[in-house]
Structure 1
Amino acid sequence: MKTLHIGIAGAGPAGLAAALMLSRRGHRVELLERFDEASPVGSGLMLQPTGLTVLDALGLLQPMLALGSRIDRLYGADARSGRTVLDVRYDALAGGRFGLAVQRAALFNTLHDAVVAAGLAIRTGLTLTDVRVAGDKAVLLDAQGRQAGAYDLVIDASGARSGLAAGQAAAPRLRELAYGAFWATLDSDGLAHDAHALVQRYDRAKVMIGVLPAGKARAGEKERVAFFWSLRVADADAVRRAGLDRWKKVILDYWPECAPLMAEIGDWDQLTLARYAHRTLRPPISKRIAFVGDSAHSTSPQLGQGANMALLDVAALAHALDTSQDLETALAAYATARRSHVQLFQLLSLAFTPFYQSDSALLAWLRDRLVATVARTPPMQALLASIVSGTLVDPFRSAGLAECDWHAVRASALTRVGAPPRVGVNEGA
């Protein structure tokens, strides 16, 4: 493959990772960002063994481990009865895998700092609305129809509501999901919580409250937590009008231990309303255009796979460019490499979401009584752990990756994080 001039739409984690990985392989890259200044969006997320392996390939695993909080367990209980509904432990799988909870700002800062250190170009203040292929170039157009750049290859990493993806002839309709969530990044002072677990409370499928240890945005800063509360997006304005105090009272009625977090929230501006959508672009390529991350496959956040899938996309695309003789072959190889993994997790997300975010009392009853019981059996424990970790099918080989030796990673980088006493948190047996 000859050296390519590559335009990358979107300077979020997927775009930044693509710029780093492809520039290191000798390609000339340019990032184009909608905002006047590239910056992180959102609160917290879970990096799984899949995404962490990609960061390791970029040489950024150790910086991320220093900022994040190791997660060994996902635990959820019924807010009224205390009955265990969800208990997924990574150690149900062999190999020492774990998750890493991080602030989105930490992931962005780590990747952005590496991009700046590499001297890669970032053009800001560009709203891209279309991409057209003219001869041997892909031409990006802005909102005024002006040419923003002509490239050998365009990578669309601009997110779930990408105008470039929406303009494709084969693009499916973006399906807006009824449920979203209020998110906030808060100090953990005074909060009794497990520093190595995502803990959630449920009331049927209509209410889901969660606390995720999220580490630091930068070295030297305080450890923080991501707090979220799911709701119907259509109800968000009514909740705001009812007042912040009333909303806090509802939270504390479900989960009194969250009082230190509620005390920090003094304004609705501290909460971000996240909206989710589902769409799968098949195939995630067009002539001289590759779609990665949410622009290729957006879904609900139930399995926490968004950023991880995006990083895998980037690695698979870079590997395809490395191992193909021409661009057309490389794009086809990228689409093939990601097909099975993406389809599986899109299907799983569609299947799991109604059990946790829906108006169905029946599905919640089945989840709490039947599914929770079956999930305690040894085969299901390992299956659920492989689903959460993103490794139910091998995503590494097709992306040219070798999974990390997690026992070695723990020994070398995580010994600084001792497991604190678990006080004041009812986590079940």
Structure 2
Amino acid sequence: MKQLDIGVVGAGPAGLAVALFLSRVGHRVEILERFDTPAPVGSGLLMQPTGLTVLAALGLFDTIQTLGNRIDRLHGADAVSGRTVLDVRYDAAPGGRYGLAVQRAALFDTLHDAADGIPVRTGINLISTAQRADRVVLKDQASRDTGDYDLVIDASGARSMLAAGSDRAPSIRDLAYGAFWATLDGAGADYDRTALSQRYDKAKVMIGLLPAGRATVGDPDKVAFFWSLKIADVEAVKTAGLDRWKAVIRDYWPECQPFLDQIDDWDQLSLARYAHRTTLPPYSGNLVFIGDSAHSTSPQLGQGANMALLDAAALSHALASSIDIPSALAAYARARRNHVRLFQMLSLAFTPFYQSDSTAIAWVRDRLVSTIAKVPPMPGFLAAIVAGTVIDPFQSAGLTEHNWLSQRYQADSALPEVAAVRSSAQI
């Protein structure tokens, strides 16, 4: 395909990744960001083998591995009885896969530094597009033209105004439960440094600790702390007071005290709201959606950023292997369709077991599901679900999965010993 003028809306992980892929093969790329200074939003996240493979294809695996914290399993226990009700281990599936918990700042900086040299226009609040011949014109909140391109890639997230105003307006279902998040110091605290650990009281209470590595080399290790709650209850919880909230968590999980001691104000906690969102097909004319502007789910399977990175790779591959933009966008939609639909379905199925008002579902989770999960081949199947690889997402995105067995890991060290390994994928 000829060299294209491409506007990328949004300087988050999806936007930065797709800008990197496309600029490296010669397209003229410009990033447009609504904030005056691009910055990460949120606490920690769990990079899965899918997203890590995309970063490897961009040559960024070593960097993110050095900043992140290796995660070997997801472990959850009933906060009252102490019974284990979730134990998913990556090594239950073959291939040597593992997760990598990272701070959002670490992922953002890794991609942002790599994208140095790609033009970025900031402080631009885009709300609509207009198709003029074979070009896309972007318009701001005052309906002023802010640029025109052969292709516009909307990576502006779940609240995308471009998606809402297009003829592909997404189907959106706001979820009842969200979560308070905070990034806290892990020094002196008692927690499993190789696991995403959670405690539950039925499905109404979920508390979690995710060892999230460091924002920059040399920084102390941080832990992402989260507490699930209904969005409708947020104001009531705040009104009851911070001390009351801490007491509830301490009663469930006393080992959280060192983390609670660091929280002195509600402003230290970020409130995450979740929605199930689908834009079908994920393009309209020469406007294409990736990441949360195309699809989003609850966070139960930890796939959000990973799916966005796969979108970036798949779109880049489609553009490289198609004769024109319409055929490329159709190929991108086909490449991501089955993987996205599967994980949206799985997310909807799993969410009520961990975030709902149902006592019966929680009872089934704690007694029946936790037992079945131990019986082969379920451990391997659950590991593949968590890894994002229950169906192959790589081939359709033009990727070769990273060779996990080539990575040597020092279990007694806070830092992985990274071999100079790159994915063989060529985008």
Counterpart amino acid of residue 315 in structure 2: L
SS at match of 2:377: helix
Supply the distance in 1 between the matched residues of 2:314 and 2:412 (Cα, whole angstroms): 32
Distance across 1 between alignment mates of 2:171 and 2:349: 19
CA distance in 2, matches of 1:250, 1:126: 43
Pairing 1:69–2:69 present: yes
**Which residue pairs with 1:298 in the alignment?**
296
* Letter of the structure 1 residue corresponding to residue 93 of structure 2: L
Alignment partner of 1:215 is 2:210: no
1:148, distance to aligned residue in structure 2 (A): 1.2
Q: What aligned pairs does 1:416-427 form with structure 2 within 5 A after superposition?
A: 418=413
Aligned partner letter, 1:230: S
In structure 2, C-alpha distance between the alignment counterparts of 1:417 and 1:327, rounded to whole Å: 50
Q: Answer yes or no: is the 8 Å Cα contact 1:316–1:334 preserved in 2.
A: yes
Q: 1:389 and 1:218 mapped to 2: Cα distance?
A: 25
- The amino acid across from 1:339 in the alignment is R
* In 1: Cα distance, 2:411 partner to 2:375 partner: 33
Matched-pair contact (CA < 8 Å) for 1:130–1:140: yes
CA deviation profile, 1:336-386 (whole Å, cap 9, x unmatched): 000000000000001111110011111111111111110011200000000
Among residues 166, 169, 172, which one is paired with 2:167 in the alignment?
A: 169
How big is each residue's C-alpha offset from its partner over 1:200-220, in whole Å with a ceiling of 9 and x where there is no partner? 000000000000000001111
Secondary structure of 2:168's counterpart equals coil
Q: CA 1:16/1:417 → structure 2, altered by over 3 Å: closer, same or farther?
A: farther
What is the CA–CA distance in structure 1 between the aligned matches of 2:181 and 2:199, rounded to whole Å? 15
CA drift of 1:168 comes to 2.2
Report the CA distance between 1:417 and its aligned residue.
5.6
Displacement of 1:121: 0.7
Q: Which residue of 2 aligns with 1:102?
A: 102
Is residue 4–residue 28 contact of structure 1 (8 Å, CA) maintained in 2? yes
1:196–1:419 CA contact under 8 A, matched in 2: no
The answer to whether 1:415 aligns with 2:410 is yes
Aligned to 2:226: 228
Where does 1:254-265 land on structure 2 (aligned, <5 Å)? 254-265=252-263
Equivalents in 2 of 1:172, 1:39: separation in Å? 26
Aligned equivalents of 2:360 and 2:167: distance in 1?
39
Contact 1:130 1:142 in 2 (8 A): yes
Separation in 2 of the partners of 1:399 and 1:258?
Answer: 41
Partner of 1:178: 176
Spell out, residue by residue over 1:391-428, the C-alpha distance to the aligned partner (whole angstroms, 9 max, x if none).
Answer: 000000000000011010x22xx3376389xxxxxxxx
Counterpart for residue 280 of structure 1:
278
Q: 1:196 is matched by which residue type in structure 2? A: T
Q: Report the AA paired with residue 136 of structure 1.
A: D
Letter matched to residue 93 of structure 1: A
> Separation in 1 of the partners of 2:298 and 2:124?
27
Equivalent residue of 1:210, what SS? strand
Partner letter of residue 283 of structure 1?
P
- Name the CA shift for 1:128/1:352 in 2 (closer, same or farther; >3 Å): same
For 1:10, the aligned partner's letter is G
For the residues of structure 1 that align with 2:410 and 2:258, how far apart are their CA atoms? Answer: 29
Aligned to 2:41: 41
Alignment partners' CA distance in 1, 2:280 and 2:412: 42
The aligned amino acid for 1:316 is A
Q: Which of the residues 390, 393, 396 maps onto 2:391? A: 393
Tell which deviates more after alignment, 154-163 or 126-135: 126-135
Name the CA distance, whole Å, in 2 between partners of 1:50 and 1:7: 25
Structure-2 separation of matches of 1:55 and 1:403: 11
Query: What is the CA distance between 1:223 and its match in structure 2?
Result: 0.6
Trace 1:179-198 onto structure 2 (pairs within 5 A). 179-198=177-196
SS at match of 1:29: strand
Letter in 1 for 2:23: S
Shift of 1:132: 1.6
Alignment of 1:44-123 (within 5 A): 44-116=44-116, 119-123=117-121
- Give secondary structure in 2 for the equivalent of 1:174: strand
Amino acid at match of 1:292: I
CA distance in 1, matches of 2:411, 2:75: 24
- Partners of 1:144 and 1:207 lie apart in 2 by 44
Distance 1:218 1:126 in 2: 29
Deviations 1:125-176 (A, max 9, x none): 1111011211111111111111111000000000001011111223233211
Give 2:368's aligned residue. Answer: 370
What is the CA deviation profile of residues 16-51 of structure 1, one whole-angstrom value per residue up to 9, with x for unaligned ones?
Answer: 111111100110100000111000000010000000
SS at match of 2:115: helix
The equivalent of 2:422 in structure 1 is: none
The aligned residue for residue 240 of structure 2 is 242
What code does the residue aligned with 1:331 have? L
Which residue pairs with 1:203 in the alignment? Answer: 201
Which residue pairs with 1:31 in the alignment?
A: 31
Match for residue 20 of structure 2?
A: 20
Taking the aligned partners of 1:415 and 1:257, their CA distance within structure 2 comes to 26
8 Å Cα contact 2:314-2:397 kept in structure 1: yes
Percentage of pairs with the same residue? 67
Q: Does 1:334 align with 2:332?
A: yes
Could you give the per-residue CA deviations for residues 30-75 of structure 1, whole angstroms, max 9, x where no partner exists? 0000111000000010000000000000000000000000000000
Residue type matched to 2:240 in 1?
A: A
Q: Is the 8 A contact 1:5 1:28 kept in 2?
A: yes
Query: For residue 194 of structure 2, what is the amino acid of its counterpart?
Result: H
Whole-angstrom CA distance in 1 between matches of 2:168 and 2:124 = 25
- Residue segments in structure 1 that go unaligned for 5+ positions in a row: 421-429
Q: Distance in 2 between matches of 1:213 and 1:101?
A: 6
Unaligned runs of 5+ in 2: 416-427
Report the TM-score when normalising by structure 1. Answer: 0.95
TM-score (norm 2): 0.96
How much is the aligned-residue C-alpha RMSD, in angstroms?
1.1
Name the CA shift for 1:348/1:340 in 2 (closer, same or farther; >3 Å). Answer: same
